[in-house]
Structure 1
C-alpha cells in the first residue's frame, strides 16, 4: 500500500506551485477509493480547503438535480457554510470564484462521465496555484477526454499484500495462523490479487475449521469463477434462500436507501430484515455508510442484477425484479406483464392509463416503488373522454409494500383490497383520505404508514389494528385523526405540522416516540396514564395550557419548546432516564426537577414568569442554559454537579448563585443579572476555561484554583472593589476589567497573556 501511496504522491508533486489533476484508474474492487482516501488523509493538512466527494456517478444519476447537488455539497464543504445552488450553471460559476481564492485538495470518487468533471473540476484555471484534484474512475477515457495528464494505474495486490489483507479478515491479524498457512496461500492464489474478492473470502472463512476451509477450496475448484461476478457470487451462494431473496432486493432496488427505510420495505415483504442485513454486511456484500445508507460495491450490485436477468435474459417481463426504466415502460405499454414480476422500482413520468393498466397482469407483485412527476390522465382526442378513476387505477392485491411519491389521486382505488399491504408510503401526493365515499376497508396487515407532505385531511386508525409506525409529517391539512381505544402495537407516532386541535391517545403500551412538532393548533392532548416504553416526546410549539405525564419510566427526551400557553407541567413521579429537557418559552412559575435526577441537558429560555427552579441531585448534568427568565429569583443548584461542563445564566432577578462541586466545568457565563450580589465559586475549577461575569452587582470575587482559565471578563461589574486572582493562571490570555472599582490588582503575567482591558 505504501508503494502505491508514494506513486500517487510523486505524481501530485506536492510543494510545486501549479495546479495538478491526476487520475486513479482501475477495475472495480481494485482499491481505487482506498488508495485515494489514504493519499487524502496523508496530505489534506497542507491545504486551505479539502473535500472527498464519494460516489459521483451514483449521486449524479440519482435525479435531475444530481450534479447540482454535488456542486452544492462540494461548495459547502470547501466554504464550511451551508450553500444553496439553484442550477448547475450557477454552481459552476460559484465554484470558479470560490476555488480561485483557496488552495484546495479535492477527490472526485467514482466518476464515469466527462460532464461530471466539467461541472465539478472544469479547468485548472478554476483553482488557486498549489491545488490538487484526484479523480478515481473505472473508465480511462473519462480521464483522457478531460486532458488529465497523470494517470495512476491501480495494479492488483502482490502475493505478500494479498496474504496480509486476507489475514486481517480471516484471522484479525497481519499474518495467517501457522496451521492455515498453506490453505491461506491457496485462497490467495484463487483470489488472484483482487482486494474485494480477498475480503469476501476472508470474511467467509473467519472462524471456520480446517475441514470447512478445505471444503470451500474444493468447491471453488468445481465452480470456476473466471470473472469477478462469478467470484463474488460465491458469497451469494452461501446465503440461505430467504437471505438470497433479500440480497437481490437490495442489489436491484434498495441500494442507496437509508437502512431504516429499507428495513420497513423488507419487513413488509416478509423478510427478517435486521438479521438479513447483518448477514449481508458480515459477508462483505453490503456496507452501511456513516449516514446510515445501504452501500454496495458496483460489482456486487451487478452480480445481483445478473442473477435476476440470466434466467430469462431476453424476456425482461419474466424477471422477478424490474428496475430499468426503458424495459418497464415497454412492458407496461405492451401490456406484457406477468406473474413472474415481484418487485418494481420506477422513477419516471408515465401516462397513468399505461402505468396502471400495465400493472394489472402482475398479480404477484409484492413491492412497488414509484416516483412520478406531475402525472396526468390521458384524454382521448377523438371524443374528449376522460378515463374514470376506478378504470385507471388498478393495484395488484398481492402488494405488500407500496411507495408512491407523487400519487395523483385523492384516495386509494376501490378495486384495491389491501388485504396484504404491510407498508404504505407516499410523499408530495394528492391523497386526501385512504378510501373514498366514507368506505373504510380493514388493513389488518398494515404495520407501516408514512405520508409526508400530502393533502391528507382525515384518518381512522381503527382500520389498522396492527399499525406499528405512523408518520404523517407535513400533512398540513390533517384535521381529524381517530385513535381507537387501544393501539397495542403502535411504536412510532409522528404528526408533525398537522392542524389537529386535539389528540386522545388510547392505551399504547409499546409507544416509544411521539412527535407533535409544530402542531400549532393543538390545545388538548390526552396522554395515557402509562407509557412504559416512551423514550422521546416532542411537543414543540403546541397551545397546551397543561400537560400531565403519567408513568413514563423510560422517557429520555422531552421537548416543550415554545409551548407559550403552558402554565402547568406535571412530571412523572420518577423520570430516572430523562436526560434532555427543553422547557424554553413556557409560562411556568415554578419548576421542580427532583424527579429527574439524571438530567444531562436543561434548556430554560424566555420563561418570563418563571420564579423558582429546584434541583435535588443531578450527577449527570452537563449543560444548563437559563436565558431571558427575567423574573427568576431562585435557582437551587445541587451540592455536586460532577459532570457539568457549561452553565449559562442571563437576564434574571437572581441575587445569589452558589455553585457546588463542579470539577468538569469549562464555561461559566452569568450576564445581565443586575440584582446578583453574591456568587460562590468552588474552591477548585480545574477545567474552567471561560469565565464571563457581566453587569452583576458583585463586590468581591475570590477565584480558586483555575489552572486552565484562558478568558476572564468582569465587564461592567461596577460595584466590584476586590478581585482575588489565583496565584497561578498559566494559560490566561484575555482579562476584561472594564468599569470596575478596583483599587489594586495583583496579577502574575504569564507567557500566554495577550490582552488586559481596564
Structure 2
C-alpha cells in the first residue's frame, strides 16, 4: 500500500461513484455527495447525460484512474446502462492492476444474488445487450459476478432501508481511510469524526482565500488529535504542508528562530536553512511562501510572539492556504486575527463510555458487573478524553471492590476539578514512583531518558523499573528517547507540589522563576526543598556565600542556559568576560561557602565562582555540569566523588588543569570542550575503566595527550582542534572498545601503527582544515605501506589496513597524502564517507569495491588528474577546485543512490576532453535512472548548451507551448542556468540557495517551488572564480496537464553574493527520443532525473 504522501502526489479525486443516474441521481446521490463535501471528501461528479450507445468520454476513464475510492452502486436499472457497465469493467481493471485502489459496492434495493446471477431486471437488461453489444456481454457478466462478492454495503441489511444511516456509514469509512495519513493519531479515535464534521471542512478548501482556523479547548480534550486528523485529510490538496507539534515546548527548548527554520525547511523541502534573528525569519517566510499554497498546523500555541514569528498574517501565504492553530487561550487566537475558532466539545456520554471501556476493559462495552461503576466514572469525568484514558488504564484488571474504593475517592473531589481525576493514578504510585513522576513534571519533561535515568538512579529511585509503571498508566511517554508528558498531567504534578505548602521555601521542588527568586534572594529555603531548576538566561539573581545554607537536603540543582538569545548583546554576540559566559545569575561575594552534599545533579551553566565550597563533599553526586563557568579548580586532593558518572566542564576558560580522578572510578563521560587554557589532564584519567566518552575538542593549549592506560571502555576520543597536540596517546592500541577517534586540526604528524588494532573503529578523523597547512600531517602514512626512507625496528611487521574493516567515516583531508598512502583502502568495505580533500594525489586507486560508499570529498585536490572507478551507491562527489582534473571514470557503473550529485565547480579542465553532453552521458548511464531520484550536475561554464532551444539573459524565461500541445506526449522540461558571484575568490562565504518556479500562462504555479542541491554554496574554503553552470531535468506530473499557451521558469537566489546571468529551458516530448539526429545532448536531458523538490 502507498503511503499518504504518495496518495497526495497521485490522487486527484477521493471518490468516483458509478451509478445509474435515472435511478438515484436526485435523491440518494445528492445526499451522499453533500455528506462527502461536509466531511472534506472530494468526489468526481459528472452530470452530463449520454445517449444510449454513446461512448464514455476519455475524461471519465481518467477520473476513474485518478480516484482512490471507487464505489459501484448497484440499483435495479444499473445494468441497462452501457456506460455503467463499461465503467464497472474499467474500475475492476484498475483494481486488478494496482491494489492501492479501494473498491466498494453498494446494493441499493437489489440483492447481491440478483447481481451475481443476473436475474430479474438484470436478466432483462442483458437480453437487450445481446442484440447491440454482443461482444462485450461476456466481460460484463463476469464483472458483475466478481463484483457481487466484493465488500461493501447493503441498504436493506445495513440500515433497514434508512438511507441517512447508510450515507453516514459510507462517508465515515472513507473519512477514516482518508485520515490514515502520515501522522499518528492513535488507535481509539472515539468521537473524532463528529467533531471534525463540525469544522465544515469544505469551506477550508475554498480557492483563492487564506484561512486561519483556531482549535481551542482545555488540556487533554483532543485538540492535537483533531488537528492531526484534519491535517491527514487535507494535506494532499496542498503544494506543501507542515505540522509543527508542541510549539510551546519547542520554543522553550530551542527558541523561535529554530521553529522558523524548521517550518521553512519542511515547506520548502530544503535543509540547513540558517536564520539570524526572528525578524530575519519573518522576512524569509513572507518572501518564500507568499505565492505557495500550504497547509500549516501550529500546535499548542500559548504566546502572541509565537504566532507573530510563524504566521503573523494571512498575507504571508499563497492563495488557498490554510493555517490551523491549536491552543488553550481563545482570547490569544482572537487577538491575533484567527477568523474561525472551533471550540472542542467534551465527549458525549455514550462516546465517553466507549472510550473509557477501550482502556478499562480493552473492549467497546463494559463488562456486565462493571456497567454501573463505569457509568459513574464517565459521569464524573464529564467527557474529557485524556482523563478517560488515564483512569481507564489505571482501573484495568482491577476488581469490583478496588473500583468502588477508587470511586469513593472520586466522590470526595469537586466535579469542577478535573485534575483530581488524574491524581487518582498518582495516588496509586509507590514512594519511588511518585518521586520520579514529580521530578519529571517539574524538571525533566523533554529530557533524554538515559540522562534522567543516571540522575534518578543516583537518588536510589530504580528508574528503569518504575518508569515502566508510569508509562503503563499513561502518565509518561517516551518519544525519540525523550520523556514526554501531557500538559494536563504535568500541571497536575506541579499542582501536587504547589499544595505541599503556601510557602515556596517549604515545598519539595522549585521551578517557577519567582518562587526560586523568593527563596534564594530572601533566604527562605528550608530542608524541605529537594530540587531547584532555573533558566539562568532569563531571571536576574544575586548569589552570595550563604545563599544555599538552609538547603541541606537539596539533591537536584539545575541552573541552565535555555535561551541563548537572551544573553546576546545588541550586535547578536554572546555576552562574555575573559573567564566565562555572563548569565543573569551574579555572584555578590568572592566564594560560595555552603552547598548541599546530598546533590545528585549539580548543573550550573556560568557558575560565577572560581572554586567549589570547601565544605562540599558530594559523595552521591552523579552529574556535574559547570560548562561556561568561571571555575578555576574543581577540587584538590582526593574528595569522594565515588558515584560521579558525567562531568561537563566545557568552555571553562579559567580551567588550567583537571582534578585528580582517583576518587571518580565510575566516571563514564568527561567533557572538556573549548577549555582554551587547559594545559594538563591529570594522569589518573587513564585509570577510569568505566569511561566511555572523553571529549577534548578545541583545548587549544593542551600539548600532551591524556594517559589511556586502562581506558578499556572508551568508545569516543575527541582531540579535534587541539592545535598543540603532536602525538596520539601512547596506549592507543589498548582501547579495544574505541568507536570514534577524532584528531583533525592538530599537529599530529604520525599515525601510530597501533591504530590498526582498533577493530571496532568506525570513525577516523585526521583532516587538517582551515589554513593549517603548516601543521598538516606531512609524514602521515597508511600503515600498510612502508616507504623506503622510513626506519622501523628490525623484523617489524605492519598489519594490514583491512583490520579496520568496521570503519564507516574517514576524514584525512589536507594531510599531504599521495597515491602510495592509500594502498589497501579498498579493504574498508563498510566505508560510507571518505574525505580526501586538499591532498596531493594525481590519481586514486579504484573505489569500486567500497559498495557502501556514499560521499567522496575531493575538494581542493589540485594535482589530481583523474577520478577513480566509483562504487554503485555513490551519492555525492565533491570535486570543487580540482584544477588539474581531466579524466572521469568510464560509464561502467549503474549508480543506485537515490540522490546523485556531481560537483565540479572551479574544475575547468574537466570540460577540455569532453562536451557537456558527453560528460553527463559518461556520468549517468542512459535509461537506468529511476525517475524519482534526485540528480544534479554542477560544471564550469558560461554558455547555455545549444540544445536548449529557449535561452535568455536574466533569471526568468518564457517557453511557448506548441500549437498542437498534448500533455500525454509531454515527458518533461530540461533547465539550465549560468550563475556568477559579485565577490569572486571570496572565502568562507555562504552564497545562498537557488530556487526555481514553473508558472502557467495566467501566472498560477505549476507544481511546487524547487531547488538545486546547494552544496556548491556551502564550502568554507571554495571561492567561485569563474562562471558556473547547473543542469537538471524535471519530469512531467499531473500539474502540467493544466498548462496552456506558454509557461515561464523563474529563478530566485537567496544569498547576496550569487547572481543568475542566463538561463535556458527545453520541452521534451515522446517523439524526441526517437529522433537519432538530435544527438546525445537531447537524449541526455530526457533521462536526467528529477532534482530536489517538494511533492507535486
Instruction: Identify the TM-score tier after normalising by the shorter chain.
Output: 0.7 to 0.9
Report the counterpart of residue 482 of structure 1 in structure 2: 682
Q: How does 1:455-474 map to 2 (within 5 A)?
A: 455=653, 456-463=655-662, 464-474=664-674
- C-alpha distance in 1 between matches for 2:908 and 2:710: 46
For residue 673 of structure 1, report the CA deviation from its aligned partner: 10
For residue 457 of structure 1, report the CA deviation from its aligned partner: 2.4
Report the counterpart of residue 424 of structure 1 in structure 2: 624
Q: How does 1:75-94 map to 2 (within 5 A)?
A: 82-86=273-277
SS in 1 for 2:324: strand
Alignment match of 1:314 (pick from 483, 488, 502): 502
Per-residue Cα deviation, 1:88-143 (whole angstroms, up to 9, x for no partner)? 6x666666666655444443322334455455544555555544332222233333
Q: Answer yes or no: is the 8 Å Cα contact 1:453–1:475 preserved in 2.
A: yes
Q: How does 1:129-168 map to 2 (within 5 A)?
A: 129-146=319-336, 148-158=338-348, 161-162=351-352
Report the counterpart of residue 825 of structure 2 in structure 1: 593
Query: Is 1:441 matched up with 2:632?
Result: no
Report the counterpart of residue 25 of structure 1 in structure 2: 216
Quickly say closer, same or farther: Cα 1:185–1:575, change in 2 above 3 A: farther
Report the counterpart of residue 220 of structure 1 in structure 2: 406
Q: Answer yes or no: is the 8 Å Cα contact 1:534–1:552 preserved in 2.
A: yes
For residue 462 of structure 1, report the CA deviation from its aligned partner: 2.6
Quickly say closer, same or farther: Cα 1:34–1:583, change in 2 above 3 A: same
Alignment match of 2:233 (pick from 23, 33, 42): 42
Q: How does 1:358-437 map to 2 (within 5 A)?
A: 358-371=547-560, 373-378=583-588, 387-389=589-591, 392-435=592-635
Alignment match of 1:326 (pick from 510, 514, 529): 514
Alignment match of 2:808 (pick from 560, 579, 583): 579
For residue 363 of structure 1, report the CA deviation from its aligned partner: 0.9
What is the total number of aligned residue pairs between the two structures? Answer: 698
Quickly say closer, same or farther: Cα 1:78–1:659, change in 2 above 3 A: closer
Between 1:544-553 and 1:10-19, the stretch displaced more is 10-19
Report the counterpart of residue 559 of structure 1 in structure 2: 765
Report the counterpart of residue 723 of structure 1 in structure 2: none
Q: How does 1:281-296 map to 2 (within 5 A)?
A: 281-290=471-480, 292-296=481-485
Per-residue Cα deviation, 1:575-624 (whole angstroms, up to 9, x for no partner)? 34322333333323322225533223333323224755366954544444
Quickly say closer, same or farther: Cα 1:20–1:631, change in 2 above 3 A: closer
Report the counterpart of residue 338 of structure 1 in structure 2: 526
Report the counterpart of residue 719 of structure 2 in structure 1: 516
Q: Answer yes or no: is the 8 Å Cα contact 1:693–1:713 preserved in 2.
A: no
Report the counterpart of residue 703 of structure 2 in structure 1: 501
Q: Answer yes or no: is the 8 Å Cα contact 2:606–2:628 preserved in 1.
A: yes
- C-alpha distance in 2 between matches for 1:266 and 1:460: 25
Quickly say closer, same or farther: Cα 1:657–1:153, change in 2 above 3 A: closer
Q: Answer yes or no: is the 8 Å Cα contact 2:902–2:937 preserved in 1.
A: no
SS in 1 for 2:214: strand
CA RMSD after TM alignment: 4.6
- C-alpha distance in 2 between matches for 1:664 and 1:557: 24
Quickly say closer, same or farther: Cα 1:598–1:112, change in 2 above 3 A: closer
For residue 156 of structure 1, report the CA deviation from its aligned partner: 2.4
For residue 87 of structure 1, report the CA deviation from its aligned partner: 5.6
TM-score, structure 1 as length reference: 0.78
Structure with the bigger RCO (C-alpha within 8 Å, sep 6+) is: 2
Q: How does 1:520-669 map to 2 (within 5 A)?
A: 520-526=723-729, 527-548=731-752, 549-562=755-768, 564-565=776-777, 567-570=780-783, 574-589=803-818, 590-591=821-822, 592-593=824-825, 595-609=827-841, 612-613=844-845, 618-631=850-863, 651=882, 657=889, 664=896, 667=900, 669=902
Report the counterpart of residue 724 of structure 1 in structure 2: none
- C-alpha distance in 2 between matches for 1:409 and 1:673: 58
- C-alpha distance in 2 between matches for 1:159 and 1:536: 58
Choose between structure 1 and 2: higher helix proportion: 2
Per-residue Cα deviation, 1:347-403 (whole angstroms, up to 9, x for no partner)? 3321212xx52311111111111248244344xxxxxxxx442xx442112222100
Q: Answer yes or no: is the 8 Å Cα contact 2:293–2:317 preserved in 1.
A: yes
For residue 509 of structure 1, report the CA deviation from its aligned partner: 0.8
Q: Answer yes or no: is the 8 Å Cα contact 2:908–2:940 preserved in 1.
A: no
Per-residue Cα deviation, 1:299-351 (whole angstroms, up to 9, x for no partner)? 111221222233x3323322221222222332334433222211111233212
Q: Answer yes or no: is the 8 Å Cα contact 2:239–2:293 preserved in 1.
A: yes
- C-alpha distance in 1 between matches for 2:204 and 2:470: 41
For residue 249 of structure 1, report the CA deviation from its aligned partner: 0.6
Quickly say closer, same or farther: Cα 1:129–1:648, change in 2 above 3 A: closer
Between 1:331-340 and 1:30-39, the stretch displaced more is 331-340
For residue 470 of structure 1, report the CA deviation from its aligned partner: 0.8
SS in 2 for 1:529: helix
- C-alpha distance in 1 between matches for 2:764 and 2:301: 45
For residue 83 of structure 1, report the CA deviation from its aligned partner: 4.3
Quickly say closer, same or farther: Cα 1:624–1:274, change in 2 above 3 A: farther
Which ranges of structure 1 fall in alignment gaps of 5 or more residues?
379-386, 680-690, 718-729, 737-742
- C-alpha distance in 2 between matches for 1:115 and 1:170: 41
Q: Answer yes or no: is the 8 Å Cα contact 1:19–1:124 preserved in 2.
A: yes
Q: Answer yes or no: is the 8 Å Cα contact 1:76–1:83 preserved in 2.
A: no
Q: Answer yes or no: is the 8 Å Cα contact 1:200–1:283 preserved in 2.
A: yes
Quickly say closer, same or farther: Cα 1:179–1:326, change in 2 above 3 A: closer
Quickly say closer, same or farther: Cα 1:306–1:573, change in 2 above 3 A: same
Per-residue Cα deviation, 1:494-524 (whole angstroms, up to 9, x for no partner)? 1111112221323211111222232233221
Between 1:99-108 and 1:228-237, the stretch displaced more is 99-108
Report the counterpart of residue 265 of structure 1 in structure 2: 455
- C-alpha distance in 2 between matches for 1:454 and 1:471: 11
- C-alpha distance in 1 between matches for 2:889 and 2:320: 55
- C-alpha distance in 1 between matches for 2:432 and 2:219: 28
For residue 275 of structure 1, report the CA deviation from its aligned partner: 4.7
Report the counterpart of residue 1016 of structure 2 in structure 1: none
- C-alpha distance in 2 between matches for 1:598 and 1:588: 22
Which ranges of structure 2 fall in alignment gaps of 5 or more residues?
1-191, 562-582, 770-775, 784-799, 942-969, 976-1030, 1032-1075, 1089-1096
SS in 2 for 1:302: helix
Larger Rg: 2
Report the counterpart of residue 29 of structure 2 in structure 1: none
